């Protein structure tokens, strides 16, 4: 069953898109990520124009993240105060990112910039997460214990000003690192069509030392509002949000997120990080291949003003 997408200007199979949304929604609920790092490349591989994939995926992430965030909220896994600080930085980053996308489209360099960004960020973050998760699992299998941060142990973050107390995360740290992390994620959300969870989750765990179970819910809480702002900005500034495509992805994503949240409860923190790292590296490798593979079409004609 096919349907015409007015903004993407192409026909697609409805059931394939719903299935894609359900699969990515499942990952969102399980890992606490928006799933855009997987869905945006999938849409591009399916023939959706890059700018439309980025803008529309932000809209889909809103729905799947709301579903996952509600599931985590019921489990008391959301630090609202931490999420609010991350959100403030995220909105600022989203504004900057949307303007950058507009500029790159006008220059005709957005597709290349998007692919290189994916390869770089997914490769670096996926490798670091994989190494750490394997190291922890080996220690556990050898009979050792996971080294937890000792009470009173400090790092450079504790020396920064503007400290705040985050009761749910049991932290007393500066608001500057969460603001910076939020701004970085907001920027990437606007440029890459992602929720930013694959960056936020390890950053909150390894830099801020937020407990893993709280990280998942708080990450989804922040993703909901940042991607909502990003969607509105893309629709207004770049006219690249295809609502028909977004609705199809949402239908599958909402259901998948609920199933993913339940599945995530059955896995240990290091196992979740290992699976997420493997997925991140897999997608990064596929994007890298698209940079060196011989294209099916040697050239295409596009509007020099940045349109499709």
The reported pTM is 0.65
By the 8 A CB rule, do 178 and 85 touch? yes
106-130 average pLDDT score = 82
List pLDDT tens digits, range 185-226: 888 878 877 767 767 777 787 777 777 778 878 888 888 888
Dihedral sign for Cα atoms in the order 70, 256, 119, 103: negative
- Mean pLDDT for all residues in the chain: 76
For the chain, domain boundaries: 2-145+152-292
| Residue in this structure with the two tokens 């069509």, named with its chain if needed | 193
Q: Which of 83-92, 127-136, 259-268 has the lowest mean pLDDT?
A: 259-268
d(CA 212, CA 277): 15
By the 8 A CB rule, do 61 and 250 touch? no
Position 268 scores a pLDDT of 66
pLDDT over 90, % of the chain: 0
Task: Provide the token pair at 229.
Answer: 């702002």
- Residue 57: pLDDT band with limits 50, 70, 90: confident
Look at phi and psi of residue 196 and say left if phi exceeds 0, alpha if psi is from -120 to 50, else beta: left
135-156 average pLDDT score = 61
As to burial, measured by CB atoms within 10 angstroms (0-12 exposed, 13-18 middle, 19+ buried), residue 188 is buried
Q: Is the pLDDT of residue 152 over 70?
A: no
């Amino acid at each position: 069953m096919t349907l015409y997408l007015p903004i993407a200007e192409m026909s697609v199979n409805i059931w394939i898109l719903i299935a894609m949304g359900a699969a990515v929604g499942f990952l969102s609920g399980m890992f606490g990520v928006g799933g855009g790092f997987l869905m945006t490349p999938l849409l591009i591989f399916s023939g959706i124009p890059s700018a439309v994939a980025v803008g529309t995926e932000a809209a889909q992430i809103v729905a799947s993240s709301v579903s996952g965030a509600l599931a985590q909220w019921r489990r008391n896994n959301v630090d609202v105060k931490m999420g609010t600080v991350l959100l403030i930085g995220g909105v600022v980053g989203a504004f900057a990112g949307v303007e950058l996308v507009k500029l790159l489209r006008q220059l005709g360099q957005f597709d290349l910039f998007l692919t290189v960004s994916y390869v770089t960020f997914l490769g670096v973050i996926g490798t670091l997460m994989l190494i750490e998760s394997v190291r922890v699992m080996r220690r556990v299998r050898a009979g050792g214990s996971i080294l937890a941060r000792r009470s009173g142990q400090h790092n450079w973050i504790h020396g920064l000003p503007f400290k705040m107390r985050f009761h749910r995360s049991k932290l007393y740290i500066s608001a500057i690192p969460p603001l910076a992390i939020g701004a970085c994620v907001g920027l990437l959300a606007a440029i890459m069509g992602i929720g930013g969870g694959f960056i936020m989750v390890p950053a909150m765990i390894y830099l801020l030392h937020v407990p893993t179970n709280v990280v998942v819910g708080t990450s989804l809480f922040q993703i909901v509002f940042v991607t909502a702002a990003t969607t509105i900005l893309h629709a207004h500034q770049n006219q690249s949000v295809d609502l028909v495509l977004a609705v199809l992805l949402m239908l599958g994503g909402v259901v998948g997120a609920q199933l993913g949240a339940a599945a995530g409860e059955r896995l240990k923190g290091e196992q979740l990080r290992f699976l997420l790292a493997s997925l991140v590296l897999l997608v990064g490798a596929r994007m890298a291949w698209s940079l060196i593979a011989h294209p099916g079409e040697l050239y295409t004609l596009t509007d020099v003003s940045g349109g499709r």
